[in-house]
Structure 1
Amino acid sequence: MGLVVLVICEAIALVVSVIAIVKILARLSDEEDRYVNAQVHRIKAEQELVVMGLEAVKLKTERDDYKQKWEKLHDMVFPSGSSEDSEDEETE
């Protein structure tokens, strides 16, 4: 009778150990899922930063293009040599 009780106690201890191991593995799985989700969010944020950087470069390039066009138009309307020549002619 004592041997049967001992076997039953060992079986219960084994079942409790298995349940504890399963719970630990489930927690580890949850931690891994959280870690992977955090990495995914980090990568998405980095991608957004890259896109924003590309948009900033595009806007700067457009601004530089407009600035060059403005300078060309300004030079066409107000040539630098003609204003100085007219002043020189007036002083002579």
Structure 2
Amino acid sequence: MPDISPVYHALMAVAGQTIIGTRYSLWGVGGALGCLWFIAREHTQAEYRWITMLGHGKRANMPWWGGFDLRVWDMASLLDWLVPMVACIAVYLIIKYKY
């Protein structure tokens, strides 16, 4: 079964964007918050993967750049933040140029 978590993440990010956008008319801020939530989440998971894969299970072994190490990122983890970002940008552009 394919991993559809990026779709769920996009729906949640757009939902947050919609709440802030309709309530405060700040569609860009809502989209940024929705996207940053998933970017931070995936970065944290990348740090834990680094600790497991390269840090011998100890957080103290991880350098400050451990979460940015490309060896701990795969396509699924990239899509988990890229798809929400694309969705929020699309919603923002639709709202901006529709009105």
TM-score, normalised via structure 1 length: 0.33
Pair member with larger Rg: 1
Q: For CA contacts below 8 A with separation 6 or more, give which structure has more relative contact order.
A: 2
